[in-house]
Structure formats: structure tokens, C-alpha cells
Structure 1
Amino acid sequence: MAAAHQHAGVTLVEFVATLPAARGRGAGAAVTWAATLCDPARPAVLIASDDGRPVYERMGYIAVERWTVWLRPERAS
């Protein structure tokens, strides 16, 4: 699955997900293309996981910056 939102002249591609059994078969790229091209005249942007990065690079997306998000879970009492 994937979703597209349009705002400020760009398409934001979000919620890209593929079931584990379908990975490596092009399903993720197919739904990402559908979201990316919902308005072909607009540029598209997305935030990629490490797993998705190679797919998006093959599609022509260009890495602009890299984020690392950290979480400190609660400690058990």
C-alpha cells in the first residue's frame, strides 16, 4: 500500500508498505509509482526506511538528507 498527499506544489508519498511474503517482487515499487505519479506534473518526496531506500533509488528518487531517530524506552519499575 502507499498513499499520496498533495500540498504546496509537491506530492508527499507516505505509508508505503509491503507484506513480507510479497517483498522482492516489485509490489512496493508498483504502489510507490502509483502514488508518485498521481500528478505527474508535480515533484514527489518521501521519507525512506533503510529497507526501502534501494527501491526508491532505482525509481530515481535522490537522497537529500539522512535522519536517525532514537527512542529511549521506558524502564521497567
Structure 2
Amino acid sequence: MFVGYDGDVPLATSVAHDAAGLTVVENVAVLPAARGRGAGAAITWAATGHRPDQPAALIASDDGQPVYQRLGYLRVERWTVWVRA
């Protein structure tokens, strides 16, 4: 788990774990007030580099997709998930 800070204030998180030779990047989140300042890219890159010897994958929200593309991730497919309360 990675946490990005501005001073002592946590702004962003990500998680990386290994699965069958792949680094799975999950739970990337940035506080709304910190968006657009590079925190998302930095925290995603920290998780992506967790195991530099293997490829990495993640599932992105529409908001996060431009960040991940700039980091070199390629869009493979789009999913729509519906949830009923």
C-alpha cells in the first residue's frame, strides 16, 4: 500500500500486489482538492514500480484514464458495471 502526502496530510493512495507474474494496481484514489497536481500519477507510478521486473495492469475509472495513458498503460477494453442498492 502506498500513501502520498503533502507535508503531513495524506492526499492519495494506491495498492500493488502480485498475481501470476503480473503487478495488479488497485485502489488508486486522490482527494478532490489534490487532483490535477500530479498526485494520481505519482501514487500510481509508485504501485506500478512495485515489481519492475514484471508487467502491470489496472482497471481505471473514466476520470483516471488520462493519467494512466500518460504513464504508458494501454486501454484493452471498457467495462460498465451496474450496481443496485
1:59 aligns with 2:68: no
Answer 1 or 2: higher relative contact order, Cα 8 Å, separation at least 6: 1
Please say which structure displays the higher CA radius of gyration: 1
Amino acid paired to 2:30: T
Task: Calculate percent identity across the aligned residue pairs.
Answer: 68
Q: Could you list the runs of 5+ residues in structure 2 that have no partner in the other structure?
A: 1-12
Q: Report what 2:48 is aligned to.
A: 36
More strand by share: 2
What root-mean-square deviation, in Å, do the aligned CA atoms of Structure 1 and Structure 2 show? Answer: 0.8
Matched residue of 2:57: which SS? strand
* Residue correspondences, number: 73
SS in 1 for 2:72: coil
- Extract structure 1 runs of 4+ deviating beyond 2 A: none
In 2, Cα distance between equivalents of 1:23 and 1:17: 10
- State TM-score, norm by structure 1: 0.91
Unaligned runs of 5+ in 1: none
TM-score with structure 2 setting the length: 0.83
- Which one-letter code corresponds to 1:41 in the other structure? D
